[in-house]
Amino acid sequence: MGENIIEKALLGATVFKNEETLHPAFVPPELPNRENELVRLSHTFKSLLNKDGAYAVNVAVVGKPGTGKTVSIRYFGRGLEKAAAKRGIKVRFEYYDCFMFRTKSAILRDLLTERFKVTSRGFSDEEITTMINRRLSRENIRLVLCLDEAYLLGQDLLSLIHGSEVAKHGQAFISTLIACRVVDWQNTLSFPLSGRLHDRIDMPAYDQNELYKIFKYRSELAFHKDVVTDEILHMVANIAASTQNARHGIEMLYLAGKAADRYNIRPITPDLIRRAKQEVYSELRSDVLYGLRDQEILVLAALTRELKAQKSSSTSIAKVYERYQLICEEFAVTKQALPTFRKTVDALVTLGIIGKVVESIGTGRRGRRARLTLMDIPVEVFHERVGEILQRRQSMEDNFD
Ligand X SMILES: Nc1ncnc2c1ncn2[C@@H]1O[C@H](COP(=O)(O)OP(=O)(O)OP(=O)(O)O)[C@@H](O)[C@H]1O
Between 30 and 294, CB nearer to ligand X? 30
Where in 52-169 does DSSP place strands (E)? 58-63, 90-97, 141-148
Between 22 and 172, CB nearer to ligand X? 22
Between 70 and 313, CB nearer to Mg ion? 70
244 binding ligand X? (CB under 6 A): no
Which letter does DSSP use for residue 141 in this model?
E
| Out of 15, 172, 246, 320, the residue judged to bind ligand X by CB under 6 A | 246
CB of 149 to Mg ion, least distance (A): 7
Q: Which stretch binds ligand X (CB under 6 A): 27-35, 83-91, 135-143, 283-291?
A: 27-35
204 binding ligand X? (CB under 6 A): no
Whether the CB-CB separation of 163 and 104 falls below 8 Å is answered with: no
257 binding ligand X? (CB under 6 A): no
Residues from 28 through 47 that contact ligand X (CB under 6 A): 28, 31-34
Between 15 and 153, CB nearer to Mg ion? 153
Where in 289-365 does DSSP place strands (E)? 314-316, 355-359
Between 355 and 393, CB nearer to ligand X? 355
CB of 83 to ligand X, least distance (A): 20
Interface residues with Mg ion (CB under 5 A)? 69-70
305 binding ligand X? (CB under 6 A): no
Residues 6+ apart with CB under 8 A from 87: 49, 51
3-state secondary structure of 200: strand
Prior bond to 267 cis, omega within 30?
A: yes
d(CA 399, CA 401): 6
63 binding ligand X? (CB under 6 A): yes
Which letter does DSSP use for residue 364 in this model?
G
Residue 378, contacted partner among ligand X, Mg ion, none, CB below 5-8 A by kind:
none
Between 109 and 371, CB nearer to ligand X? 371
Instruction: List beta partners, residue 148.
Output: 97, 179
Between 70 and 175, CB nearer to Mg ion? 70
CB of 301 to ligand X, least distance (A): 24
25 binding ligand X? (CB under 6 A): no
CB of 181 to ligand X, least distance (A): 5
CB of 65 to ligand X, least distance (A): 4
77 binding ligand X? (CB under 6 A): no
Phi/psi of residue 120, nearest 5 degrees = -110, 5
Phi/psi of residue 16, nearest 5 degrees = -85, 135
Residue type, 275: R
Between the CA of residue 42 and those of 72, 325, 349, what are the distances in Å? 12, 51, 40
Closest CA to 359 of 189, 191, 193, 200: 189
Closest CA to 104 of 126, 122, 73: 126
CB of 325 to Mg ion, least distance (A): 35
CB of 223 to Mg ion, least distance (A): 24
Residue 31, contacted partner among ligand X, Mg ion, none, CB below 5-8 A by kind:
ligand X
Other Cβ atoms less than 10 A from the Cβ of 199: the count is 14
d(CA 376, CA 181): 12
Residues binding ligand X (CB under 6 A): 24, 28, 31-34, 63, 65-71, 181, 214, 218, 246-247, 250
